[in-house]
Amino acid sequence: MAPEQMGQGMGRPGLDRRHFLAGLGGLTVAGSLGFAALGTGADALASGADTRVRYWNLFSGGDGYNMIAMLDAFRAANPDIDVKDSTLQWGSPFYTKLAMAAAGNRAPDLGVMHLGRVTGFSPGRLLDPWDVDLLAKYGVRQADFNPELWKRAVVDGTLYALPLDIHVQLCFYRKDVLKKAGLLGDDGKMVAVTSVDEWFDVLKEAKKATKKGLQTIGMWSSDQNFQWWFFVAFYTQLGGTWFDDADTEVTFDTDKATQVLEFLRRHVTDGYSDPGFAGGAGAEQFVNGGPFVWEGNWSVPVFDGAKIEYGATPLPPVFGKQATHAESHSFVLPHQADRGGAANEGAHQLAAYIVQHAQQWAAGGHIPAYTPTLTTAAYQKMNPQSEYVSAMDHQATEPKVWFAGSTGILAQRVGPIVVSATLGSAEPDAAARSMKSTLTELLAMKNPMDGKTAAQGGAVA
């Protein structure tokens, strides 16, 4: 499962656990066996730091390792701030935790969310706004971010999220195979592609150079999330739109959608993408010598680990315009009735620090949102990160409505329709129409968090 699908985990700090232990101390078995794990909240209270910032993050694996390294660097630089970080795992109850903690006024000082989910998460009620001046004091200004990205973090004119990165869908290619096929330029990068025909010519040549038993391109053709992300990318390349500005009308263009769906489908019908390797096996095929795979940038460490010769570009601009799907990890301030004071300032300081010191974060394949990082020599040296950094300027994102966002309702409802077209169980034009009617239904649907439809929610920046 990709990190995209993992959402953000939130959990309760250790205090309540201790409380329950005390209350139910009679169950000594649990006490004696589990004290080490149960009592973890105590040490944070005991530490001598002036300010304690509770921070919930959701990063495990390689990202978790990088995040902890950045936190440690922050701790070393700011010994007066005690960061109590809780790493949580994606799982179903995850937004529940954040929502209930915020509603019940037990929220941490700082949290992480996918940017696309912010609009649906009742900003203003469950999320507190960022203090832009305070951020500026710690060195983070709007000017340091891509304007489109910043706009997504603003709801009703107020900043509710501070982007840490963007993570994008990429076209990974094997340099060894492409070289054999004559598809590698002098600079060691894949030849540029600007149209659908060119793209399929490239696939045709690549196929000839591919070992038997391997598919030409892996594209997660049965996965509702990936297929949806790819659709968003190519639909945006065509200049397609979703809703009007007031979120009252569906402006989804079924002709453009049909074009995209036909394009996706053709990979399968022309035999470049084997439905038998539709899922995560696409990456395995790639490691074995398949020339292409479309994957999230989080696969960079995986392919680095496999020690193969590869490069990565944003999804090819086959419809003329550059655009690839992007989501973003961002910092949020979960609602606290009495937000303010040292802990709040510490949360601003910590978030600002991590955003500005995200060089290490880029090792996980993510593109740091803080643009000054991108022009540093250290970042330019990173490969293939520097090759796809342009994706920052060509983000294709889901519409900014409450039901959108990483693996949200929109992806859940529309993703399967894209899959059915790609795999051939629905005709592309019928699928496009069905997407449109689903979008219409969603637009009329009320956000369970506040009982308002997208139009009533007024989530336009």
Q: Rank residues 109 and 223 by Cβ distance to another protein and give the closer one.
A: 223
Q: What separation in angstroms does the CA of 155 have from each of 218, 225, 369, 381?
A: 37, 25, 18, 36
In angstroms, give the least distance from the CB of 50 to another protein: 26
Which of the residues 124 through 153 are near another protein (CB under 8 A)?
Answer: 126
Tell me: does residue 441 bind another protein (CB under 8 A). no
Region from 98-106, 153-161, 193-201, 389-397 binding another protein, contact rule CB under 8 A = 98-106
Question: Which of 165-193 are b and which e, b meaning 16 or more Cβ less than 10 Å from the residue's Cβ?
Answer: bbbbbbbbbbbebbebbebbeeeebbeeb
Radius of gyration of the chain (CA): 23
d(Cα 339, Cα 33) in Å, to the nearest integer? Answer: 37
Rounded Cα distance, 214 and 173, in Å: 14
Please name the residues in contact with 266: beta carbons below 8 A apart, sequence gap of 6 or more. Answer: 200
Q: Out of 69, 73, 100, 460, point to the residue binding another protein (CB under 8 A).
A: 100
At position 443, the amino acid (one-letter code) is L
Among 46, 47, 76, 92, which residue sits at the site for another protein (rule: CB under 8 A)? 92
Residue count of the chain, please give it. 461
39 touches another protein by CB under 8 A = no
Residues 272-311 that bind another protein (CB under 8 A): 274-281, 283-285, 287-288, 298-299, 301-302, 305-307
Q: Which is nearer to another protein, 139 or 289 (CB)?
A: 289
Q: Which is nearer to another protein, 236 or 406 (CB)?
A: 406
Q: How far is CA 185 from the centre of its chain?
A: 31
Instruction: Tell me the closest approach of the beta carbon of residue 13 to another protein, in angstroms.
Output: 9
- 440: contact with another protein by CB under 8 A: no
- Kindly identify the residues of this chain, within the stretch 58-87, that bind another protein according to CB under 8 A: 60-63, 86-87
Torsion 229-235-238-243 (CA) sign: negative
CB within 8 Å of 293: residues ≥ 6 apart? 171, 172, 217, 218, 219, 282, 283, 285, 286, 299
How far, in Å, CA of 251 to CA of 253, rounded?
A: 6
Contacts with another protein in 302-361 (CB under 8 A)?
A: 302, 305-307
Applying the rule CB under 8 A, the residues between 403 and 432 that interact with another protein are 407-409, 412, 416, 419-420, 423, 425
Q: Which is nearer to another protein, 68 or 134 (CB)?
A: 68
Of 175, 185, 233, the residue nearest 209 (C-alpha): 175
Query: What would the two tokens of residue 170 be?
Result: 């990429």
Of 186-215, binders to another protein (CB under 8 A) are: 213-214
Q: Which two tokens stand for residue 382?
A: 């990173």
44 makes contact with another protein (CB under 8 A) = no
What is the separation, in whole angstroms, between the first and last Cα of the chain?
32
66, 119, 122, 273: residue in contact with another protein (rule CB under 8 A): 122
Closest approach, Cβ 342 to another protein, in A, equals: 26
Using the minimum distance from each CB to another protein, give the nearer residue, 96 or 380: 96
* Span of 260-268, 321-329, 375-383, 443-451 interacting with another protein by CB under 8 A: 443-451
Exactly one of 74, 94, 160, 388 binds another protein (CB under 8 A); which one? 94
By CB under 8 A, the residues from 5 to 34 that bind another protein are 5-6, 9-12, 16-17, 19-20, 24, 27, 29-30, 33-34
What binding mask, one character per residue, do residues 217-256 give for another protein by CB under 8 A, x or -?
A: ----xxxxx-------------------------------
Out of 83, 88, 183, 358, point to the residue binding another protein (CB under 8 A). Answer: 88
Q: How many CA within 13 A on the CB side of residue 337?
A: 5
Q: Is residue 42 within 8 Å of residue 124, measured between CB atoms?
A: no
